[in-house]
Amino acid sequence: MSPPLEHDYIGLSELPPAAAVPGTGEEGALNLKETELRLGLPGSESPSRKDKVGLTLELLPKSFASGSKRGYSDAIDGAGKWGLSAGEGGSEVDLGKGGGLFSPRGEKAAAGGGQLPGQGNAGREPAVNAAGQERKAAAPVRGSVAHDRVMAPAAKAQVVGWPPIRSYRKNTMAINPSKIKDDDDGKQGIGCLYVKVSMDGAPYLRKVDLKTCNNYKELSSSLEKMFSCFTLGQCGSHGIPCKDGLSESRLTDLLNGSEYVVTYEDKDGDWMLVGDVPWEMFTDSCRRLRIMKGSDAIGLAPRAMEKCKNKN
C-alpha cells in the first residue's frame, strides 16, 4: 500500500473512474464524465477540465498547509456533527462529508486516492486497483475531500436548479433574516449568520456565514476563496500600500496585498472598516460586507483612525 500523496486540495483527475471507485462498475470505465458536475454560470459552455483545475488551484492559496488546513477543518467539525463511522484515519476523514458539491468526480477521485491534476496517474492506479482493502488504504487521503467541502460554497451557487427546491421557498427563506434572534433568551435562534458580501466589479453577490469563522483571519480566507476568481491575476500584482500605521487592522492582506479593502455595514447603517473591533462584537453588529477598491475606501480611513484614537 502506497502512502497517501501529499496534496492541499482535491485532485481532479483524468483517471478512469473504475480506478477511483474500485469494485463498483460492471464495466471498466463508468464514464462518469457524463455525470460530472460542471461548473459555470447557467448557459455557459462547460469549462474544460483544465479550466476547472485552474480555477480550483487558485481558490486555495498555496500556503494551505497542514496547519491551517486543520484550523479550517476544526471550524467545520465544530459546526457539523457527521460521524464517519468507518472509523478510519484522523479528524480529516471525519470531514469527508458535507457540502462538497464541487465535483463528484473529484470526490470519487479523492476517495479513491486523489491525484494532483496533470500528474501521472499511473503511479496511483495500481494501489487503488488492488483488492477492496485498498479502500481502507485510500481512506486517509480522503482527508483531501475536506477541501472539497472548503470549496463547496463557491461551487454550489453555480448549479442551476439545484438543490431541487421550489423558487418560492428559496425566495422566502432568503428573506427570512438570519439575524432573527430571541434576544430575551440570549440564545441564537439559528446556528448560522449569513451576511451578503458584495465586491466591486463582481457580477454577483455572495453570502458568507460568519458563524463558520472564528476570527478575522478565517473570514479573510473565506472571502478570498469566494472572490479570488475575480481577482485572478491581480493578486499581489500591485496594491495601494495602506500604511498609516493601521495595516494590522486592515484586511488588505486579505487578497495578498491587492488594492481591495473589506468594509461592513453595522447596525446603525454606517460603513466601517473590518478589523477594528473584537470578533464577537463584529459578528454582532455586522449586517453586510463589501469588498471595495482601496481607492474608494480612502474616506473610511478617518473613521477608523478616530476609533483607534478612542481606543487608545
Q: State yes or no: residue 193 binds other proteins (CB under 8 A).
A: no
172 makes contact with other proteins (CB under 8 A): yes
DSSP letter, residue 245: T
Whole-number Å distance between alpha carbons of 180 and 78: 22
> How many angstroms separate the CA atoms of 276 and 283, rounded?
12
Q: Are 79 and 3 in contact (CB under 8 A)?
A: no
- Nearest approach, Cβ of residue 304 and other proteins (Å): 31
- Using CB under 8 A as the binding rule, the residues of this chain from 79 to 138 that contact other proteins are 79-82, 84-86, 96-101, 104-105, 107-108, 111-112, 135
Smaller CB distance to other proteins: residue 112 or 143? 112
CB of 300 to other proteins, least distance (A): 28
Closest approach of Cβ 177 to other proteins, in Å?
8
Q: How far is the CB of 163 from other proteins (least distance, A)?
A: 5
CB 39 within 8 Å of CB 50: no
DSSP state letter for 46: P
d(CA 33, CA 16): 9
CB nearer to other proteins: pick between 159 and 300: 159
Of 58-87, binders to other proteins (CB under 8 A) are: 76, 79-82, 84-86
Question: Is 52:10 a contact under the CB 8 Å cutoff?
Answer: no
State yes or no: residue 1 binds other proteins (CB under 8 A): no
The helix/strand/coil state of 88 is coil
Residue closer to other proteins by CB (options 86, 232) is 86
Least distance from C-beta 150 to other proteins, angstroms?
A: 8
Q: Does 153 bind other proteins (CB under 8 A)?
A: yes
3-class DSSP state of 181: strand
Q: How far is CA 129 from the centre of its chain?
A: 31
Check whether the bond before 163 is cis (ω within 30° of 0): yes
- Least distance to other proteins, CB of residue 8, Å: 18
**Binding window for other proteins (CB under 8 A); candidates: 50-58, 121-129, 185-193, 248-256:** 185-193
